Amino acid sequence: MRQSRSGPKTDTSQGRAAASDRRSVGLREVARVAGVSTATVSRAMNNPEIVSADLRARIDAAVQQLGWVPDGAARALSTRRSQTIGAVFPALSIGEFARATHAIQSELARLGYTLLLACSEYDPAQELSQVRKFVERGVDGLILVGQAHHPDTERLLHQRKIPYVNTFVYDRSQPGTCVGPDNHRALQMMTDHLADLGHVRFAAIAQSTLNNDRAGARLEGMRHALALRGLAARPQHVLIGKWTIGEGRALFRKLMQTDPRPTAIICGNAHLTVGAVLEALAMGLRLPDDVSIVGYDDIEVMSHLPVPVTTVRVPGDRIGATAARLLVSRLENKPFSEPLEAEAEIVIRSSSGPPPKDS
């Protein structure tokens, strides 16, 4: 029928590399060695059960002998699937994200996917450009952090129909799209804990909420909980800075120089928390007698500091693993029924207690 089967295959050898010159093992060589067609080899690799046992054996032997490794690019081109997932995190060396990265990676590996990783440095424009690059690289899906993305990011993903999941946030109005804690509620709970102990003068040491909807939601959660009791943190008691231990120390010290002093201090991330606690100890303050400090993210050191720290536990690894599974089930059109909200848990330790009597 088709009039095509004309020349090319007969090797006129003028391409960039004549087929006959190619020494690199390909499906073709395997097929030849095994004495079968390329289609059969392909099937033997992808659906072993539909190939007769003896052929399968011959093929496996040939594969072994030639040390053939399938070519992902060719497969991706043909199937329009790369078995690759991209993840863009604001930072990689922050505990919660590092744990999540690890969990995502191992979960994806288990499911036959590979992880492409990038970092946005808390900048939506960078996030966009990383996402763009991932799209060009042909990722099947994406894992992002937070809900606030560059409009073009959402547009691009929508138009290319690339599924993605937002992590470290939970928004019940967007079911099935995000995996994480309800940041607002987490801090509301933490604030309630302190208020229930009798605190009235609250302070916050937080990282910038610029381009960080999670941090913003947490601050709002605190504000909301306080407002419900007719309270509010004084402006000079709400300090924003970088997310380092040193910054935590500096901001804590600054807080202690105000008058009146706050009696309860809520920190916005693990580094700031560790800094605040260590500075308090360095200043000779007793926790929680002189002041209560609570943190965010239950990294291991929280329970080992001289005064174990009350903190919000964020199951970064569970979030990552769940996000990975969710994304893959969506890609493979499988149902998914695990809970997506990582209920934030308040871990109460010794750094929080009733406010000092004389305050």
Partner DNA sequence: TTGTAGGCGTTATCAG
Partner DNA sequence: CTGATAACGCCTACAA
Kindly list the residues in this chain that would bind its own copies in the complex (CB under 8 A).
2-4, 6-8, 12, 14, 67, 69-74, 76-77, 82-84, 91-93, 95, 98-99, 101-102, 105-106, 109, 114-119, 130, 132-138, 159-160, 244-246, 249, 271, 274-275, 278, 281-282, 300-301, 304-306
Minimum CB separation from its own copies for residue 15, in Å?
11
Interaction partner, residue 231 (DNA, its own copies, none; CB < 5-8 Å by kind): none
Give the x/- contact pattern for DNA in 16-55, rule: CB under 7 A.
Answer: xxxx--x-x-xxx------xxxxxx-xx-xx--xxxx-xx
The set of residues, in sequence order, having a beta carbon less than 8 Å from that of 56 and lying 6+ positions away, is 44, 48
Query: In angstroms, rounded to a whole number, what is the distance separating the alpha carbons of residues 314 and 299?
Result: 9
The pair of structure tokens assigned to 358 is 């004389």
Residue 106 or residue 359: which is nearer to its own copies going by CB?
106
Minimum CB separation from its own copies for residue 82, in Å?
6
**Which DSSP string do the residues of 34-46 spell out, in sequence order?**
HTS-HHHHHHHHH
Residue with tokens 């990783």: 117
Compute how many residues bind DNA; rule: CB under 7 A: 47
Residue 37 or residue 303: which is nearer to its own copies going by CB?
303
Residue 73 or residue 175: which is nearer to DNA going by CB?
73
Interaction partner, residue 116 (DNA, its own copies, none; CB < 5-8 Å by kind): its own copies
Angle (CA) 173-177-180 rounded to 5° is 85
Tell me if 173 contacts DNA by CB under 7 A.
no
Residue 38 or residue 106: which is nearer to DNA going by CB?
38
DSSP run (H or E) holding 80 = none
Minimum CB separation from DNA for residue 30, in Å?
7
Query: In angstroms, rounded to a whole number, what is the distance separating the alpha carbons of residues 1 and 82?
Result: 34
Question: What is the identity of the amino acid at 253?
Answer: R
Minimum CB separation from DNA for residue 214, in Å?
36
* Contact window for DNA (CB under 7 A) among 5-13, 154-162, 268-276, 340-348: 5-13
Asked if 298 and 334 touch (Cβ cutoff 8 Å), the reply is no
Residue with tokens 């940041």: 183
Q: Which of 134, 331, 94 is nearest to 323 (CA)?
A: 331
Residue 16 or residue 172: which is nearer to DNA going by CB?
16
Buried b (16+ CB within 10 A) or exposed e, 90-125: beeebbbbbbbbebbbebbeebebebbbbbbebebe
| Residues forming the site for DNA (CB under 7 A) | 1-2, 4-5, 7-9, 11-19, 22, 24, 26-28, 35-40, 42-43, 45-46, 49-52, 54-55, 68-71, 74-75, 77-80
